[in-house]
């Protein structure tokens, strides 16, 4: 069975050697973006050094770019566990892809139609739907989360979906408080009402195995810079729907297939980095079988590591720190902890930690609705994220600093 060798993983990530004033940086800002291994850096650099060309040329360098594109699609298919007829589409980032999807999906909506969004989502899976509804005169329905258990209210989801629901936009996991959502259950509820479900897996992707086939969602979006890759977004979904929809595209670009959604020239070098990032995750597995199976084994080990660090972190916190998130079942959350230190603003705490070469995020991290529900819109919370390269020693360092500041 695979278990993580954190030291071996860390040796692959040059940024983890970064120092500030002679102290090695402890990176707890993974939910904002992960660092990348040598293999990702090398693949991007190798592509650029060999010379890249645009698609469609009669020469080898052009075919190299096409191959990089197809190879990345196959890698993301494995990462997402797509159905055989799903497409993988790349784009600038998740937000841009979701605006393109929401604009196309809403083209036929009108007054009386409904879209469902949640208070647990990052704004990248809320604002595109609010805008689409406003443009078409459609109605927005909200699903809250419980501010004491931090779980999303799926009963409320079942209440608000109905015959007029067109789309349910839902997160796989909260980038603010770490709650994992039962996407399979949400898909069943959505499909029973005859609607389409769009899942934001940006935060979930470095922490758990995405499984489009098993969860049966219609569309799913993620961003490679959160799972050890470069800055590029990916979306997968039912090819039948993607074919039917009217994408905003330039005339010469393909009328069918994923290319219809990929506006402008893609970052081929970043695509090589995406493949390397997926291969990096798969490489954590000791099992020697298909990439998808290795990814499953790797994520099981990543989750074990997350639970161990989470338990260490929660047990060691000073009393004056409040955790906003699930603490009774660490399998129901990612290792992303939103905290508050009594008497200290989030920015001040983040600055104090930064002075100790400990990087954390503060504010709302675009989880606008989460902060409003928690009554923390002003200043937000400090967010601490663990990834597979986070060590027990780093968590101890963080706890020591919190005790000192408490
Ligand atoms: C949960 C979640 N969704 C969406 C996004 C937006 O992703 P992108 O930066 O690729 O647009 C983020 C970014 O932080 C996120 O954490």
Atom number in ligand 1 closest to CA 231: 10
Q: What is the pTM of this model?
A: 0.98
Ligand 1 centroid to residue 256 C-alpha, Å: 27
Nearest to 215 by CA among 81, 321, 404: 81
Where in the chain is CATH 3.90.1150.10?
Answer: 6-37+291-405
Atom number in ligand 1 closest to CA 95: 11
> What is the DSSP code (8-state) at residue 261?
T
Ligand 1 centroid to residue 61 C-alpha, Å: 33
Ligand 1 centroid to residue 94 C-alpha, Å: 6
Ligand 1 centroid to residue 15 C-alpha, Å: 22
pLDDT of residue 288: 80
pLDDT in tens, 177-208: 999 999 999 999 999 999 999 999 999 999 99
Q: Which residues are CB-contacts of 14 (< 8 A; sequence separation ≥ 6)?
A: 38, 41
Q: Which residues pair with 116 in a beta bridge?
A: 141, 168
| Tally: H helices and E strands in the chain | 14, 15
Ligand 1 centroid to residue 191 C-alpha, Å: 25
Atom number in ligand 1 closest to CA 98: 11
Place of tokens 């970052």: 267
pLDDT of residue 322: 98
140: helix, strand or coil: strand
Mutate to test the pocket of ligand 1, among 29, 89, 122 (most ligand atoms within 8 A of CB): 122
Q: Which residues pair with 197 in a beta bridge?
A: 168
> Where does 201-279 show beta strands of DSSP type E?
219-223, 233-238
Ligand 1 centroid to residue 72 C-alpha, Å: 20
Are the C-beta atoms of residues 214 and 345 closer than 8 Å to each other?
no
Ligand 1 centroid to residue 91 C-alpha, Å: 13
Mutate to test the pocket of ligand 1, among 90, 96, 117, 124 (most ligand atoms within 8 A of CB): 124
CATH topology of domain 42-279: 3.40.640
Q: Exposure pattern of 23-55 as b/e (b: 16+ CB <10 Å)?
A: eebbbbbbbbebbbbebbbebbeebeeeebeee
Where in the chain is CATH 3.40.640.10?
Answer: 42-279
Ligand 1 centroid to residue 168 C-alpha, Å: 18
| Residue 218 token pair | 């219609």
Ligand 1 centroid to residue 252 C-alpha, Å: 30
Ligand 1 centroid to residue 223 C-alpha, Å: 7
Q: What residues line ligand 1, using a CB cutoff of 6 Å?
A: 93-95, 122, 124-125, 171, 175, 200, 202-203, 223, 233
| Residue 131 token pair | 């805008």
Burial label, 129 (beta-carbon count in 10 A; 0-12, 13-18, 19+): buried
> Which runs of consecutive H residues, i.e. helices, occur in 51-108?
60-80, 94-105
Mutate to test the pocket of ligand 1, among 34, 223, 234 (most ligand atoms within 8 A of CB): 223
Cα–Cα distance, 223 to 307 (Å, whole number): 23
Atom number in ligand 1 closest to CA 204: 1
Atom number in ligand 1 closest to CA 31: 16
Are the C-beta atoms of residues 106 and 355 closer than 8 Å to each other?
no
Atom number in ligand 1 closest to CA 97: 11
CATH topology of domain 6-37+291-405: 3.90.1150
| Residue 7 token pair | 């030291």
Atom number in ligand 1 closest to CA 174: 1
pLDDT of residue 1: 76
Atom number in ligand 1 closest to CA 203: 1
Nearest to 361 by CA among 378, 343, 385: 385
pLDDT in tens, 306-350: 999 999 999 999 999 999 999 999 999 999 999 999 999 999 999
**Residues lower than pLDDT 50 in the chain:** none
Place of tokens 């338990």: 311
């Amino acid at each position: 069975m695979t278990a993580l060798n954190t030291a071996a993983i860390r040796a692959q990530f040059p940024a983890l050697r970064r120092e500030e004033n002679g102290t090695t940086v402890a990176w707890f800002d993974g939910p904002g973006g992960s660092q990348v291994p040598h293999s990702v850096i090398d693949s991007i650099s190798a592509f650029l050094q060999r010379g890249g060309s645009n698609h469609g040329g009669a020469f080898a360098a052009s075919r190299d770019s096409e191959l990089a594109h197809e190879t990345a699609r196959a890698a993301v298919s494995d990462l997402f566990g797509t159905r055989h007829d799903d497409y993988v589409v790349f784009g600038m980032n998740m937000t841009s892809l979701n605006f393109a999807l929401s604009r196309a999906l809403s083209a036929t909506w009108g007054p009386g139609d409904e879209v469902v969004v949640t208070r647990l989502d990052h704004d990248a899976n809320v604002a595109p739907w609010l805008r689409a509804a406003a443009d078409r005169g459609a109605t927005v329905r909200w699903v809250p989360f419980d501010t004491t258990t931090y779980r999303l209210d799926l009963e409320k989801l079942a209440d608000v979906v109905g015959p007029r629901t067109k789309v349910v936009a839902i997160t796989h996991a909260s980038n603010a408080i770490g709650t994992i959502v039962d996407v399979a259950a949400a898909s069943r509820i959505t499909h029973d009402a005859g609607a389409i479900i769009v899942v934001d897996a940006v935060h979930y992707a470095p922490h758990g195995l995405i499984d489009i086939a098993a969860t049966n969602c219609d569309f799913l979006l993620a961003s490679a810079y959160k799972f050890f890759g470069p800055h590029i977004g990916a979306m997968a979904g039912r090819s039948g729907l993607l074919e039917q929809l009217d994408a905003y595209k330039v005339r010469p670009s393909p009328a069918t297939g994923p290319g219809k959604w990929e506006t402008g020239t893609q970052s081929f070098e970043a695509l090589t980095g995406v493949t390397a990032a997926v291969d990096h995750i798969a490489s954590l597995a000791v099992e020697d079988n298909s990439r998808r199976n290795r990814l499953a084994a790797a994520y099981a080990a990543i989750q074990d590591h997350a639970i161990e660090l989470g338990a260490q972190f929660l047990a060691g916190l000073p009393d004056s720190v409040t955790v906003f998130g699930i603490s009774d079942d660490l399998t129901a959350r990612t290792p992303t902890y939103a905290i508050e230190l009594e008497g200290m603003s989030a920015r001040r705490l983040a600055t104090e930690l930064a002075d100790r070469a400990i990087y954390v995020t503060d504010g709302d991290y675009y989880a606008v609705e989460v902060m409003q529900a928690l009554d923390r819109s002003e200043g937000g919370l400090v967010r601490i994220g663990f990834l597979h390269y986070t060590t027990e020693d780093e968590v101890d360092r963080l706890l020591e600093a919190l005790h000192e500041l408490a």
